[in-house]
A and B are shown apart, each in its own frame.
Chain A
């Protein structure tokens, strides 16, 4: 069963096969959680999104048509949309309740835990405009191709390429000192 593709696993899941269910979860949960965490930066919410996404998988399994779409792309799209919904709600609540705009500075506790450098990278990624950030998350962190990223984000490939180029340029500018440091370290070792 280990070498079964996702389409085959989904067909078995629809029939209530527990081993197939476990295999699909083990294959995709880490990436679903990583994407939702990086989009939301809240571990609890990221877990809720992952659970919600898999509930949708169970509902969809009996209707899944093999070969029509790639399961990984479908799942990433579900996770991305669930996160976008939550981000929108967060913003609405903040504006409705006349809260201050979100503080862009990194959570000091998290920075301590994660290390200064990783905190700065996280901060730089979070400062990107939403669509640029999503494109970078899907392409760099989730390893999706530009075609898959375009499908997940429901934009053209050209738009994804433009988002990626602008996003990477902005990150390189923001993280220039850290980038220089890491290259210096690579040359001295």
Chain B
């Protein structure tokens, strides 16, 4: 009687162990599903800790290998959502917007750029009137300053001119960019 009971115990212990193994396997498969959902099917993309959890040898088991194949098929399916390639005109317009060697130098050395100051309206006006008389400009400037002095003196404007003088660098920068930045104000 006792021996029969012992036999039954062996059987139930055996099936318990099998159930436990099955449960462990089911848990591992569930964990593998999570891993595949987070990291995808590329083993190389998995973090070190996850690779230790699932060594390559384990993944060769049919149930695991099947899951990985399914994930690869899923990745293949996702790749059917294609995107357009850049057109030549898009590439060209992006390249055209890039800083050229000249622009880059100018940006890095603003004073040099400022040296190429666009002609002021007054100067353009003077040159239009005096196209062949560039050497007379200093004489003209002297005459204009004398006239300016006379006018200021006669109208009684005696403010301190020194206070209105701005930093020359700043002035050059303002002049250099005036036509491009503040065209709306003119």
Any A CB within 8 A of the CB of B38? yes
Partner-contacting stretch, out of A71-79, A87-95, A170-178: A170-178
User: B38 near A146 (CB under 8 angstroms)?
Assistant: yes
Interface SS of chain A: helix, strand, loop or mixed?
helix
Q: Give the distance to chain B from A170, nearest Cβ to Cβ, in Å.
A: 10
Taking CB atoms and an 8 Å cut-off, the chain B residues in 54-81 that contact chain A are: 69-70, 73-78, 80-81
When C-beta atoms are compared, the residue in chain B nearest to A24 turns out to be B98
**A28-73 CB contacts (< 8 Å) to partner B:** 29-30, 33-34, 37-38, 43, 46-47, 50-51, 54-55, 58, 61-62
**Residue B83 interfacial (CB < 8 Å):** yes
- If the complex has contacts A29-B91, A175-B77, are A14 and B97 also in contact, measured as CB distance less than 8 A? no
On whether the beta carbons of A38 and B90 are closer than 8 Å, the reply is: no
Check B128 for interface membership: any CB of A closer than 8 A: no
Note all chain A residues with C-beta closer than 8 A to B84.
33-34, 37, 43, 46
The distance from the CB of A35 to the nearest CB of chain B, in whole angstroms, is 8
A146 touches B39 (CB 8 A): yes
> For residue B93, which residue of chain A has the nearest CB?
A51
- Contact size range, A: 35 or more
CB closest residue in chain B, given A22: B95
Report whether B95 and A25 are in contact in the complex, using a CB–CB cutoff of 8 Å. yes
Whether B80 pairs with A161 at a CB distance below 8 angstroms is: no
CB-CB under 8 A for A165 and B38, given A21-B98, A54-B94, A55-B97: yes
B contact residues around A38 at 8 Å (CB): 81, 83
- Cα of A90 to Cα of B81 in the assembled complex, Å: 23
